[in-house]
Structure 1
């Protein structure tokens, strides 16, 4: 039986499985909540944005700033991409 993670996590079993696989608390909650919602399909291809590799470093930095990724000012383009994908 999955532990109750409170009202902010809609699918406790998925959350725990993702945490065991090494996902951050934020990422695990985001995925677990998307899977619990009948109008979301997290397994399907996402939006219309181009891949991060096609973004400029400035655009990547701006997105990292929006997500409050620490250490972003010292990152090069590939590090920004990795940080964004892991956030």
Structure 2
């Protein structure tokens, strides 16, 4: 479904708008709203600290974090939580 400006596609427009209203950047809101599991209820995943670096890398790849191949496990966790 196109966003209100029509310039790009947002998979979950309601989630995107809610994230913007909560103060997320447009980039972060779009990345979350366009993820494959967009709109699904969370809470069943283990904490990132328990994930392997390879799993963190794949998640970072999925959400579009740049420079992921050159950063440590801790930096991947920080990037996933804060981007």
What is the SS of the residue equivalent to 2:65?
coil
Aligned counterpart, 2:48: 52
Pair 1:10–1:66, CA change in 2 (3 A):
closer
TM-score computed with the length of structure 1 as normaliser: 0.56
Alpha carbon RMSD of aligned pairs, Å? 3.0
Aligned counterpart, 1:17: 21
Q: Number of aligned pairs?
A: 69
Of the candidates 62, 68, 74, which is equivalent to residue 78 of structure 1? 74
Structure 1 unpaired stretches of 5+: 35-39
TM-score computed with the length of structure 2 as normaliser: 0.58
| Larger Cα-atom Rg | 1
What is the SS of the residue equivalent to 1:10?
helix
